Amino acid sequence: MSRTVPAPSLWAEIGAARYPLHLASGLIDDVGALWTGRGPAGAVLLVSDGNIPELSRRVRASLQEAGVRVITTTVPPGEGSKTLAQVERLTRLAAEAGLRRSDAVAALGGGVVGDLAGFVAATYQRGVRLMHIPTTLLAMVDSAIGGKTGVDLPEGKNYVGAIWQPDLVVMDTDVLATLPPRELACGFAEVVKYGMLDGPELFAQIEGWPELPGPADALIGLIRRCVDHKLRVVADDERDLGVRASLNLGHTVGHGIEAAAGYDLYRHGEAISLGLLAALRLSESTVGLDPGWRPRVAAILSRHGLPTRLDPAVPTAAILEAMGRDKKADASALNMVMVAAPGDVRLRVSPPGDRVVSAIEELRR
Ligand SMILES: NC(=O)c1ccc[n+]([C@@H]2O[C@H](COP(=O)([O-])OP(=O)(O)OC[C@H]3O[C@@H](n4cnc5c(N)ncnc54)[C@H](O)[C@@H]3O)[C@@H](O)[C@H]2O)c1
Ligand SMILES: [Zn+2]
């Protein structure tokens, strides 16, 4: 039975790539038809993690129904799967299955699967087609958008990677129904970041957001706004040499906290929640952000279960040291993103070191 598939919600135009993004509820069983609508059916290596077997089964069935040969595999859930060892396993699996240059990889899962399977697509036989089917809020608004892929080294997160754009992105908001509340909140931390970057209208929508995930139609609209923001920024700077840095708002201190806490106390989004507040504090002193914004942002974050106070067990010195090691930090000074007001973004601001220390210390009060 052939299904009628909806028109794309958005188109990405990044460098030479142009591809559709479908965002709606109930799309998961349409993946096969959406994929074959984009080119030859061929074979697909479907990668997901062990927490979403039912979604994997449905995507596999949908692809098979559309005439695609599917090789299914799962990785253990969590950041620990973003390794070169998994890249070797997956690429060898692709080779054993006879995947060719015209075939594809499908990444079904959160940012971990997206980054890992995306990197496999970028590198297997020097690059094959890729489909992202993000299943976390964070992956929908952030990691499945923009083409960054990669894995971790013991020496650092995302130290090996490639920029590789997908051919199709399918986001079904229904899949968020099974996402644990803590993971939903983590994605929402990035949504709050977009609110500050985009401007007062999006910020107001976020400030008024009810309990997560919120009404289905409104949620689709919210994700769309965030995706649209990221696509616009990435279109101007695919290789991350300029304005794409704005997306790092809250991430300089956030990454420092994440690393200093050993990547287990805080999830990424939780560290970003704290990092955002530190960035807003520094924005007050460096670019004149009205001090009224920070308590408003803190209220939003804490209402959705995100931390606004830094755990005393994470020493400031360790955070500062980790910030210095962050590959996005300039060797000489911290290059930070600041906001003078929602939507008024300033890049490459280097606040004095003592101000950075007090912005971190203030997170303890
Ligand atoms: N490429 C980029 O531009 C980019 C941007 C931001 C983050 N990232 C990367 O993304 C990763 C984090 O992504 P994440 O927060 O999605 O984490 P994740 O992939 O670990 O997913 C979070 C948890 O949710 C589970 N899960 C996923 N979908 C589910 C569903 N529908 N129902 C129930 N459980 C589900 C997963 O198994 C996992 O346990 C990090 O590795 C980070 O480096 C990449
Ligand atoms: Zn982030």
Q: Which atom of ligand 1 is nearest to the CA of 115?
A: 1
**Site of tokens 């995302």:** 158
Q: Which atom of ligand 1 is nearest to the CA of 190?
A: 6
Tens of pLDDT, residues 202-225: 999 999 999 999 999 999 999 999
332 has a pLDDT exceeding 70: no
What is the model's pLDDT at position 306? 98
| Residues sharing a CB contact under 8 Å with residue 7, sequence separation 6 or more, in sequence order | none
Residue 91 CA to ligand 2 centre (angstroms): 27
- Parse the chain into domains and list their residue ranges: 10-178, 181-362
164 has a pLDDT exceeding 50: yes
Options 3.40.50.150, 3.40.50.1970, 3.40.50.2300, 3.40.50.1110; CATH for 10-178 is 3.40.50.1970
239 has a pLDDT exceeding 50: yes
Tell me the average pLDDT across 247-266: 95
Q: Which ligand is nearest to the CA of 139?
A: 1
Residue nearest to atom 42 of ligand 1 (CA): 111
Top-confidence range, 36-40, 68-72, 235-239: 68-72
Say which CATH architecture domain 181-362 belongs to: Up-down Bundle (1.20)
pLDDT band with cut points at 50, 70 and 90 for residue 327: low
What is the model's pLDDT at position 331? 45
Residue 111 CA to ligand 1 centre (angstroms): 4
**Contact yes or no for 107/168 (Cβ under 8 A):** no
Q: Which atom of ligand 1 is nearest to the CA of 158?
A: 43
**Contact yes or no for 117/105 (Cβ under 8 A):** yes
The whole-angstrom separation of Cα 184 and Cα 186 is 5
Tell me the average pLDDT across 322-330: 70
What is the model's pLDDT at position 4? 74
Report the chain's mean pLDDT, rounded to a whole number: 95
Residue 300 CA to ligand 1 centre (angstroms): 22
What is the model's pLDDT at position 190? 98
The whole-angstrom separation of Cα 21 and Cα 169 is 5
CA dihedral of 185, 130, 221, 136, whole degrees rounded to 10: -20
109 has a pLDDT exceeding 60: yes
Residue nearest to atom 21 of ligand 1 (CA): 110
